[in-house]
Chain A
Amino acid sequence: AQSVTQLDSHVSVSEGTPVLLRCNYSSSYSPSLFWYVQHPNKGLQLLLKYTSAATLVKGINGFEAEFKKSETSFHLTKPSAHMSDAAEYFCVVSWNFNKFYFGSGTKLNVKP
C-alpha cells in the first residue's frame, strides 16, 4: 500500500538555526511530491513541489527540499529558522495526480 511517513511529529529549533523536517514515502515508483505549511485554523499553503525536474527544489520563504529516489525521501530544510516559521508542515505524495497521500504532519516550534 502506498503511504507517506513524516518521521517526527514535533520538531523544536532555536531561531536562526537550521530546520530539517523528514519525509519518506512507500514506493520507489517516481511520484510527485509536495510540502505544505499550515498555520493554526488556516488552510494549507503550498511551499514547494517536485514533479520530475531538478532533484533539489526551492520553495517560498527560504525552504527547499531534495528528492532522493534511492532513499525514497523528500526532506524539507531551511538554513535559518524564523519565528514566523512556527506552524505545521505536511508532506504530500501523489503517484498519478488522482489521489494525494498526506503525511500526519510535523509541528515546528521555533524558540527565541
Chain B
Amino acid sequence: DGGITQSPKYLFRKEGQNVTLSCEQNLNHDAMYWYRQDPGQGLRLIYYSQIVNDFQKGDIAEGYSVSREKKESFPLTVTSAQKNPTAFYLCATQRDTDTQYFGPGTRLTVL
C-alpha cells in the first residue's frame, strides 16, 4: 500500500446523502484511478485522471464524481444518484506507462 492513503477505512452513509472518499499519494505518480469492488466481480473502473485538472469516466461513472486539483489528491464523491453504493472502493496510482499501485481501500455501507 505504501505511499497511498485512503480515508476513512469504513464509512456509513444514509440513503440520500453524498459522501466523499479521500485518496492521497506521495509517490509523485501522474495517473490516479478509482475502482469499485463487489464480491465475485473483480474491480470495475469508476473514474481516472492522467494529469491534474483532467479526468475521464470509466465503465461505471454514473452516480459518482471526482476532482483532481492537486497531483497528490483524487477524491471520489458518491452521490445520492448512485443506487447501490455499498461496496469496497480502491484508489490506485500509476507512473507513466507502468504498474498500478493500490491503496488500502474504503468500505462504504449504506444504512
Residues of A within 8 A of B (CB): 9, 34, 36, 41-46, 49, 90, 92, 96-97, 99-100, 102-105
Contacts and interface: CB of A to CB of B under 8 A. Distances in A.
Contacts of A105: 40, 42
B105 A102 contact: no
Interface stretch (B14-22, B60-68, B76-84, B95-103): B95-103
Contacts, number: 46
Given A104-B42, A105-B40, A105-B42, A42 B104 contact: yes
Interface of B: 1, 4, 6, 40-45, 88, 90, 92, 94, 97-105, 107
A43 B40 contact: no
**B-side binding surface: helix, strand, loop or mixed?**
strand
A49 to B, nearest CB: 6
B90 to A, nearest CB: 6
**A-side binding surface: helix, strand, loop or mixed?**
loop
Nearest to A6: B42
